[in-house]
């Protein structure tokens, strides 16, 4: 049984926005279809001056570093928090819709040695992917509806299939293939659990509501308030 | 004003040997010497607070890697500045942290590894991802440290050199980043 809980995230004090705690209870009966989620995430504010909003709705922090931005494709409604490094200079990076890339993550295309030299391969990230803080994604392909926890190291040329989950602080050795609906944790990562069949809907709801609750304000309010008075700048 | 950016000489003094590819967008502080064929990615941090750092040849220092020469808290600076010497063919992967007093040749510090002060890496050592070495020690040659429980094992040969990757990076990084140029020798 998977419980998707949302913790209070306080963007004003730069403390871990979008940090849900996913607690996994292994039920002895093996019934994995029940999933509960708290219905509403709290609002998170971002100052207008710090973020660039593109035509397709991507919200990219000015504190992030996008090298080779001509090779980076953000498909729409992607949130890129501050401190993220996306290395588009090494190879093309394509990120799907409604992704959330939390602060200090590093998205880096993997390289492959050939007999004739070395090449960096393009990195494709699917839709509705959540990448936790400080994670290093060196994978070849990340599927859709994937949850990557905080502080993970995804090794070179890993393949993460759709609807999988990588727990916090895991290290995926190079060239690991993570099957769908699997939970991997530990160092080196091992298959430690399964996700419910509703994961696709859960991740879709989660990333979409992250995007909706990421609200632009002109000036940061002195204290984040619970959604009663939101300063929305148009 | 010329469009090329310059490092602030009050903050750092970076001597780049020709052939090295040193991105401007990294954090430098203090006295740093960088050998030939070394590649330093943007957003690396090389902080030579307590004394100079000398980096050898053919090293690969990736983004968010931190190489810090700092006195441990509580000690006072003696007469001699501690010099941190890093050998050749080392790889400092993303978000690795190195405060080792001396790093030999052919070592690999994998992503998010942490090497504390007092540790000395000899040759061919591999410190795995998320592993941290904190107690002062000398790590024997060809040791691999890995896993949650920090297992040690010895491998039979040193890690493969990254020459091909360095060549590739030397070709493409200048297309996307400003580099720190080696200083031309002033003709007498």
DSSP A113-153: EETTEEEEPPEEE-SS-EE-TT-EE--SEE-SS-EE-TT-E
Q: CB B168 to CB A119 under 8 A?
A: yes
Using the Cβ of A68 and the Cβ atoms of chain B, whether some distance falls under 8 Å is answered with: yes
Q: Which residue has the tokens 């590649």?
A: B39
A2 band by pLDDT with thresholds 50, 70 and 90? very low
- Is residue A26 over pLDDT 70? no
Choose, out of B24, B25, B40, B63, the residue to mutate when testing the contact with A (most A CBs < 10 Å). Answer: B63
- Is residue B118 over pLDDT 90? no
pLDDT at position A221 is 62
Higher pLDDT, B104 or B182: B104
Q: Is B12 exposed, middle or buried (0-12, 13-18, 19+ CB in 10 A)?
A: middle
- Is residue A234 over pLDDT 80? no
Q: What is the mean pLDDT of residues A182-192?
A: 89
B8 band by pLDDT with thresholds 50, 70 and 90? confident
pLDDT at position A101 is 93
Minimal-distance CA residue of chain A relative to B169: A90
pLDDT at position A184 is 92
Q: What is the mean pLDDT of residues B105-123?
A: 90
A38-96, pLDDT tens digit by residue? Answer: 456 778 888 888 888 889 989 999 989 998 889 999 998 999 999 999 999 888 999 99
Task: Tell me the C-alpha distance between A148 and A182, whole Å.
Answer: 12
Using the Cβ of A83 and the Cβ atoms of chain B, whether some distance falls under 8 Å is answered with: no
Q: CB B168 to CB A118 under 8 A?
A: yes
Q: CB B164 to CB A65 under 8 A?
A: no
Q: Six-digit token pair at B156?
A: 């039979």
What is the average pLDDT value for chain A, to the nearest integer?
77
Is residue B123 within 8 Å of B107, Cβ to Cβ? yes
Residues in B whose CB is inside 8 Å of some CB of A read 25, 42-43, 63-64, 94-95, 110-112, 128-130, 146-148, 164-165, 167-168, 172-173, 175-177
Q: What is the mean pLDDT of residues B118-144?
A: 88
Q: What is the mean pLDDT of residues B152-168?
A: 82
Q: What is the mean pLDDT of residues B3-17?
A: 74
Asked if the interface predicted TM-score (ipTM) of this complex is over 0.90, the answer is no
The beta strands (E) that lie in chain B are given as 12-16, 21-22, 27-34, 39-40, 45-55, 60-61, 66-69, 84-86, 91-92, 97-98, 102-103, 108-109, 114-115, 120-121, 126-127, 132-133, 138-139, 143-146, 151-154
- Is residue A9 over pLDDT 50? no
Q: What percent of chain B has pLDDT over 70?
A: 90
A37 band by pLDDT with thresholds 50, 70 and 90? very low
Q: CB A117 to CB B128 under 8 A?
A: no
Task: Tell me the C-alpha distance between B72 and B54, whole Å.
Answer: 19
A-chain residues near B179 (CB < 8 A): none
Q: What is the mean pLDDT of residues A163-177?
A: 92
pLDDT at position B78 is 67
- Is residue A6 over pLDDT 50? no
Higher pLDDT, A115 or A134: A134
Q: What is the mean pLDDT of residues A125-152?
A: 92
pLDDT at position A145 is 93
pLDDT at position B154 is 80
In angstroms, the separation between the Cα of residue B91 and the nearest Cα of chain A is 15
A113-126, pLDDT tens digit by residue? Answer: 777 778 888 999 99
Task: Tell me the C-alpha distance between A233 and A48, whole Å.
Answer: 8
Q: What is the mean pLDDT of residues A192-211?
A: 89
B4 band by pLDDT with thresholds 50, 70 and 90? low
Q: CB B167 to CB A111 under 8 A?
A: no
């Amino acid at each position: 049984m998977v419980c998707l809980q949302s913790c209070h995230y306080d963007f004003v004090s730069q403390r871990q926005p979008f940090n849900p705690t996913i607690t996994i209870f292994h039920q002895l009966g093996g019934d994995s279809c029940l999933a509960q989620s708290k219905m509403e995430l709290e609002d998170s504010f971002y100052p207008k001056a710090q973020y660039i909003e593109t035509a397709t709705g991507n919200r990219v922090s000015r504190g992030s570093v996008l090298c080779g931005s001509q090779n980076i494709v953000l498909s729409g409604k992607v949130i890129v928090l501050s401190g993220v490094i996306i290395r588009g200079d090494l190879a093309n990076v394509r990120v799907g819709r409604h992704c959330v890339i939390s602060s200090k993550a590093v998205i880096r295309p993997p390289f492959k040695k050939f007999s004739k030299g070395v090449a960096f391969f393009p990195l494709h990230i699917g839709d509705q992917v959540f990448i936790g803080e400080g994670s290093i994604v060196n994978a070849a392909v990340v599927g859709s509806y994937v949850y990557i926890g905080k502080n993970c190291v995804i090794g070179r040329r890993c393949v993460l299939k759709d609807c999988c989950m990588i727990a916090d602080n895991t290290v995926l050795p190079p060239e690991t293939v993570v099957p769908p609906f699997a939970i991997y944790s530990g160092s080196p990562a091992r298959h430690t659990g399964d996700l419910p069949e509703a994961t696709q809907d859960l991740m879709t709801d989660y990333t979409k509501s992250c995007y909706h609750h990421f609200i632009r304000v002109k000036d940061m309010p002195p204290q984040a308030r619970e959604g009663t008075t939101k300063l929305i700048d148009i | 004003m010329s469009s090329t950016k310059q490092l602030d000489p009050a903050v750092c003094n970076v001597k780049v040997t020709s052939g090295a590819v040193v991105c401007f967008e990294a954090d430098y502080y203090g006295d740093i010497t960088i050998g030939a064929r070394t590649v330093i990615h943007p957003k690396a941090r090389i902080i030579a607070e307590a004394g100079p750092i000398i980096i050898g040849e053919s090293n690969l220092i990736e983004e968010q890697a931190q190489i810090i020469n700092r006195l441990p808290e509580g000690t006072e600076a003696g007469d001699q500045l501690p010099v941190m010497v890093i050998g050749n063919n080392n790889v400092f992967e993303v978000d690795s942290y190195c405060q080792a007093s001396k790093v030999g040749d052919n070592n690999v510090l994998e992503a998010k590894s942490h090497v504390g002060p007092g540790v000395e890496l000899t040759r061919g050592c591999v410190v795995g991802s998320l592993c941290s070495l904190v107690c002062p020690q000398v790590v024997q040659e060809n040791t691999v440290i890995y896993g949650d429980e920090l297992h040690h094992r010895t491998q039979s040969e040193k890690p493969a050199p990254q020459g091909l990757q360095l060549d590739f990076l030397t070709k493409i990084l200048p297309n996307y980043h400003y580099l720190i140029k080696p200083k031309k020798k002033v003709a007498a």
